């Protein structure tokens, strides 16, 4: 059996690592990794391959940045001849980035079967590019591998038949649990002169937050006020750095701005934080898995289970609401007990691989490509 995994951006690499490890244990499978190059900076891509112990990709497409159409179209054009040559039994895509959509469209139209890891998440906010990607991928992928029951419900409501669904749990948690011992060796807290439980960690990169100057100004203002209470460490995504440089806000100086961190350093940083404030999807899940308080600086989440069964609170982008939620958080008992949702147990990758090998999609491999 041949499986091609297509990854493009930082959160994809985290999901791929445990699946790649699990596939490497199966002698009957040849696994081919295709990195589209949507994320190309060493800090966003190479450092993650290294920290996650991923083998180098078999193909690196070097797609780079651009508009959504440019990024998606360039990826499709570069992928098509590779998939035509490799003819995998499965194309595995993960998450909701542009690489996920591009790979899915290319593969299904070549008659190849697609499995989507992290299927069924919905923010119900069509202004998010990721929501469009999630909906389109789930509409046409053959096998929908979901992290939690709410994702199954979303898909069933959209008319997906149960045969296409398989609840496998959260593969990010596999990566997290596997990396904990190595993260513990990171010297990041000493380097930043931070004490465990006595600082906050912030990440921001959603276009709705950082591309809109009034929103970014409000968020930075609220974070600067929080920095009067405790140090605020802020690893800055390249998109956000560009916007901050353009705005030149003086309040940014109150924050401990850092370059994007590798997976292990970042894990060690956030797991010991008193609280995290973020618009990332992955960090909402990761903080729930380890019982770290999380305030989500968005009005919606595609991961509501982290609120129902975890440590997450969706607080929006109003500065007063953010500061009130942060104060409430600082006043509540710490550390919190982790409450992991069902199947967030570090075994998701093995269930994913079982699902691929059992091949219950009901669709034969090697359908002819759709006619041009
Ligand atoms: C992408 C994903 C988002 C994910 C995030 C994780 C989509 C639509 N969005 O957002 O879901 O949460 O990755 O980081 O796929 N840039 C660099 N170096 C890089 C990559 C990007 O400087 O290696 C800069 C470029 O200016 C680029 C901008 O960041 O234009 C945005 O990059 P892009 O990959 O388009 O989206 P992200 O904001 O990273």
Q: How many residues does the chain have?
A: 372
Residue 282 alpha carbon, nearest atom of ligand 1? 12
Phi-psi region of 366 (alpha: psi -120 to 50; beta: other; left: phi over 0): left
| Nearest CA owner, ligand 1 atom 11 | 97
- Domain-located, residue 272: yes
Residue 133 alpha carbon, nearest atom of ligand 1? 8
Residues 327 and 353 in one domain: no
Residues 142 and 290 in one domain: no
The pLDDT value recorded for residue 364 is 57
| Nearest CA owner, ligand 1 atom 31 | 239
Residues 148 and 218 in one domain: no
- Domain-located, residue 54: yes
Residues 92 and 217 in one domain: no
* CA nearest neighbour of 336 among 305, 306, 291: 291
Q: Is 237 a catalytic residue?
A: no
The pLDDT value recorded for residue 369 is 78
d(CA 311, CA 172) in angstroms, rounded, equals 16
Residues 208 and 295 in one domain: yes
- Domain-located, residue 337: no
CATH number at residue 40: 3.40.50.2000
> Looking at 31, 35, 116, 205, which residue is catalytic?
205
Hey, which of 39, 49, 93, 104 would you mutate to test ligand 1's pocket, going by the most ligand atoms within 8 Å of its Cβ? 39
Residues 162 and 299 in one domain: no
* Number of Cβ within a 10 Å radius of residue 32: 17
* CA nearest neighbour of 328 among 281, 277, 252: 277
The pLDDT value recorded for residue 25 is 97
Confidence (pTM): 0.96
Residues 108 and 9 in one domain: yes
- Angstrom CA distances, 368 to 5, 37, 88, 101, stand at 20, 28, 13, 21
How many degrees, rounded to 5, is the angle at CA 32 between CA 26 and CA 33? Answer: 120
- Domain-located, residue 307: yes
| Nearest CA owner, ligand 1 atom 2 | 97
Cβ of 238 below 6 Å from ligand 1: yes
Residues 138 and 271 in one domain: no
* CA nearest neighbour of 58 among 38, 30, 77: 30
- Domain-located, residue 298: yes
Residues 166 and 293 in one domain: no
- Domain-located, residue 177: no
The pLDDT value recorded for residue 367 is 72
Q: Which domain holds residue 192?
A: 187-331
pLDDT in tens, the chain (372 residues): 999 999 999 999 999 999 999 999 999 999 999 999 999 999 999 999 999 999 999 999 999 999 999 999 999 999 999 999 999 999 999 999 999 999 999 999 999 999 999 999 999 999 999 999 999 999 999 999 999 999 999 999 999 999 999 999 999 999 999 999 999 999 999 999 999 999 999 999 999 999 999 999 999 999 999 999 999 999 999 999 999 999 999 999 999 999 999 999 999 999 999 999 999 999 999 999 999 999 999 999 999 999 999 999 999 999 999 999 999 999 999 888 778 999 999 999 999 999 999 975 555 555 777 877
- Domain-located, residue 119: yes
The pLDDT value recorded for residue 337 is 78
> What's the number of domains the chain is made of?
2
The pLDDT value recorded for residue 366 is 57
Residues 295 and 351 in one domain: no
The pLDDT value recorded for residue 365 is 58
Residues 212 and 313 in one domain: yes
Residues 254 and 312 in one domain: yes
The pLDDT value recorded for residue 10 is 97
- Domain-located, residue 24: yes
Cβ of 205 below 6 Å from ligand 1: yes
């Amino acid at each position: 059996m041949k499986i091609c995994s297509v990854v493009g951006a930082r959160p994809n690499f985290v999901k791929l690592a445990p699946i790649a490890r699990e596939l490497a244990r199966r002698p009957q499978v040849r696994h081919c990794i295709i990195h589209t190059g949507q994320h190309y900076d060493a800090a966003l891509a190479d450092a993650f391959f290294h920290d996650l112990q991923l083998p180098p990709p078999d193909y690196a497409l070097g797609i780079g940045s651009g508009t959504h159409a440019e990024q998606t179209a360039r990826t499709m054009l570069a992928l098509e001849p590779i998939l035509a040559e490799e003819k995998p039994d499965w194309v595995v895509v993960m998450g909701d980035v542009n690489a996920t959509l591009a790979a899915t469209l290319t593969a299904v139209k070549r008659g190849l079967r697609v499995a989507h890891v992290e299927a069924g998440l919905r923010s119900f906010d069509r202004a998010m590019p990721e929501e469009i990607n999630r909906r389109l991928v789930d509409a046409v992928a053959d096998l929908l591998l979901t992290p939690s029951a709410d994702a199954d419900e979303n898909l069933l409501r959209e008319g997906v038949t149960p045969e296409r669904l398989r609840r496998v749990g959260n593969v990010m948690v596999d990566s997290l649990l596997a990396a904990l011992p190595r993260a513990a060796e990171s010297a990041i807290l000493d380097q930043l002169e931070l004490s465990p439980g006595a600082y906050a960690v912030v990440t921001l990169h959603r276009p709705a937050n950082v591309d809109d100057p009034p929103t970014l100004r409000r968020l930075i203002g609220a974070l600067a006020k929080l920095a009067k209470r405790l140090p605020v460490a802020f690893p800055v995504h390249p998109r956000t750095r560009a916007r901050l440089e353009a705005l030149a806000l003086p309040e940014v100086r109150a924050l401990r701005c850092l370059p994007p961190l590798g997976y292990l350093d970042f894990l060690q940083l956030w797991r010991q934080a008193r609280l995290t404030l973020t618009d990332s999807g992955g960090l909402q899940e990761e903080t729930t898995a380890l019982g770290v308080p999380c305030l989500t600086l968005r009005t919606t989440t595609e991961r509501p289970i982290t609120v129902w069964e975890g440590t997450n609170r969706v607080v929006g982008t109003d500065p007063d609401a953010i500061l009130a939620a942060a104060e409430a958080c600082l006043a509540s008992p710490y550390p919190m007990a982790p409450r992991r949702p069902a199947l967030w147990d570090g075994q998701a990758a093995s269930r994913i691989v079982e699902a691929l090998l059992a091949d219950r999609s009901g669709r034969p491999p090697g359908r002819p490509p759709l006619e041009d």
